[in-house]
A and B are shown apart, each in its own frame.
Chain A
Amino acid sequence: MTYDMIFSLLTDGCFAAVAAVGFSTISKTPSRAWLWCGLTAAAGHALRFALLSGTGLHIVAASTVAAMAVGLLAVLFAPRIKCPAEVCLFPALLPMIPGMYAYRTVQALMACIASQDESQFIHCFYLLAYNGFTCSFIILGMVIGANIPIFIFKTISFRATR
């Protein structure tokens, strides 16, 4: 692993942690959970970055695997902070949302409507479908992947606040 790769992983993790802590305030996460939200998000996002750049895995598969790791960490951290696992899970997943795919889907939709001829429309429709499908399947993979550890480790997940 090169120095550049390590640096990219660390910066990626740091910005994901900042994003997770910031977004956790929107859902009124208790402040004692912020550190763990940040750590979970950093680990999940850095793992996805490593899978994408290191193994060439498709973004849908990489996001699903990273979301499962986030779910697992959230379940492990939950008893430590006496909070339900979802408290760490949701903010930590948000930095992995495929925002640019979503944006390009909307942009392609508008271009479809504004297109002047058939070939232009077909190209825009291809972009709409490609970005829309990729975005939808990333989100689907993420939410399923993140929920699996909660249901596998039900005993830990639902006794964390005891």
Chain B
Amino acid sequence: MNAKTSDFLADYAATLLGCGATCIRIEKNLKRLAAGCGVTAQVQIMPAHVTLSVSDGSGHSRVISRPMARGGINFDVNARLSRLSWAVADGHLSADEAIERFQAITSEAGRSSQWRELLLASVANTAFCRLFGGDPASMLLVFAATLVGYRIKQAMIARGRDVRLAFLAASFFSASISAAGHVFHLGGTPEIAVGTSVLYLIPGVPYINAVSDLIDRHYLCAFGRFTDACVLTACLSAGLCAGMYLLGLYDL
């Protein structure tokens, strides 16, 4: 049993879990990759860990457990790791070359432009405001609120603060800034501005992954992802409530 290969398979599964892949994808990719490396792998996926049982043809096997890789949702890594598994399975890469490629993918994972992400997320939330019927004044407020809130979230996560606290703070500041429409009577749709200002924080990927895992009968993972998403939604709601309460926006 080659320990290097089995460690690689465990790291591969932990990285896929961390970057937001569904359980069915992790299983399929891992089995394909293991077959390409000349071993068989059984994977047990838990909400925050993966455990692999890797066997070679000679009757030797090894059990390895890895915590989920912490890097946040990353579809680029998800796509590149899926392609890597096919490259190995189709014989285009050896196991050693695959390990090198894997290390290159994981080391490049965090290198996206934070400023581009900030700007595009703000523009997206502004478009969201328009979809809900917001007028230009509300759109402008939502843009400013998202810009500030998203930057706070980025800075807090970069400094290692708890992600739930980051969601709470970002939603509080976004809601408070967008409430300027109510306070200073800007535009005709101030309610839409406040309601839209925190939507960039909705954890859509965990919700959708939870249902995918549920359909594929990975009930523990489904429950784990759903609970994670509910906790984040509760945090953003608490921030929104605090902002609304501070500015007296709770009268129906």
Q: Find chain B residues with CB under 8 A from A86 CB.
A: 20-22, 25, 75, 78, 208
Which residues of B have CB within 8 Å of A127?
252
What 1/0 mask marks residues of chain A from 70 to 114 whose CB sits below 8 Å from any chain B CB?
000000000000111011011001110101101110111111001
B169 vs chain A, min Cβ distance (A) = 17
Residues of A within 8 Å of B28, CB to CB, are 158
Beta-carbon contact of A28 and B77 below 8 Å: yes
Residues of A within 8 A of B72 (CB): 28
CB-based A-B contact count at 8 angstroms:
162
Inter-chain contact B128/A90, CB cutoff 8 Å? no
**Nearest chain A residue, comparing its CB with the CB of B201:** A26
If A27-B73, A111-B250, A158-B25 touch, whether A106 touches B131 (CB-CB below 8 Å) is no
> When each residue 60-90 of chain B gets 1 if its CB lies under 8 Å from chain A and 0 otherwise, what string results?
0000000000001111111100110110001
A interface secondary structure, majority: helix
Selecting from B2-10, B40-48, B50-58, B191-199, the interface stretch reads B191-199
A67 to chain B, nearest CB (A): 10
Given A27-B20, A86-B22, A99-B195, A110-B245 contact (CB < 8 Å): yes
Enumerate chain A residues within 8 angstroms of B250, measured Cβ to Cβ.
107, 110-111, 114
- B139 CB to closest chain A CB (Å) equals 10
Residues of B with C-beta under 8 A to A83: 75, 79, 82
In the docked arrangement, what's the CA distance between A103 and B76, Å?
32
Q: Once the chains are docked, how many angstroms separate the CA of A89 from the CA of B25?
A: 15
Alpha-carbon separation in the docked complex, A106 to B243 (Å):
12
- Report whether B215 and A147 are in contact in the complex, using a CB–CB cutoff of 8 Å: yes
Q: Does the CB pair A99–B75 fall under 8 Å?
A: no
Interface membership of B117, Cβ < 8 A: yes
A19-B124, A25-B121, A82-B83 in contact; A12/B131 too (CB < 8 A)? Answer: yes
- Chain B 138-158: CB-based contact to A (< 8 A → 1; otherwise 0): 000000000000000000000
> What are the interface flags for B199-210 relative to A under an 8 Å C-beta threshold, 1 for contact and 0 otherwise?
110101101101
A26 and B90 alpha carbons, distance in the complex (Å): 32
Given the interface pairs A109-B241, A150-B212, the reply to whether A18 lies near B123 with Cβ below 8 Å is yes
| Majority-rule SS of B interface residues | helix
Q: A83-B75, A107-B249 are in contact. Are A146 and B127 (CB under 8 A)?
A: no
Tell whether, in the assembled complex, residue B252 and residue A28 are in contact, meaning their CB atoms are under 8 Å apart: no
**A124 with B240: in contact, given A23-B124, A89-B208, A151-B215 (CB under 8 Å)?**
no
User: Can you add 9 more A-B contacts, CB < 8 Å, to A25-B124, A33-B79, A83-B79?
Assistant: A12-B131, A16-B127, A18-B124, A19-B125, A25-B116, A27-B20, A99-B132, A102-B202, A144-B211
8 contacts between A and B (CB under 8 A): A15-B130, A19-B124, A20-B124, A26-B73, A27-B205, A86-B25, A95-B127, A150-B212
Interface residues of B (CB under 8 A from A): 20-22, 24-25, 28, 72-79, 82-83, 85-86, 90, 112, 116-117, 120-125, 127-128, 130-132, 191-192, 194-196, 199-200, 202, 204-205, 207-208, 210-212, 215-216, 237, 240-241, 244-245, 249-252
- 7 interchain residue pairs of minimum CB distance: A22-B124, A103-B195, A110-B250, A161-B82, A18-B127, A19-B127, A143-B211
Residue numbers of A with Cβ under 8 A of B are: 12, 15-16, 18-30, 33, 45, 82-84, 86-87, 89-90, 93-95, 97, 99-100, 102-104, 106-111, 114, 123-124, 127, 139-140, 143-144, 146-147, 150-151, 158, 160-162
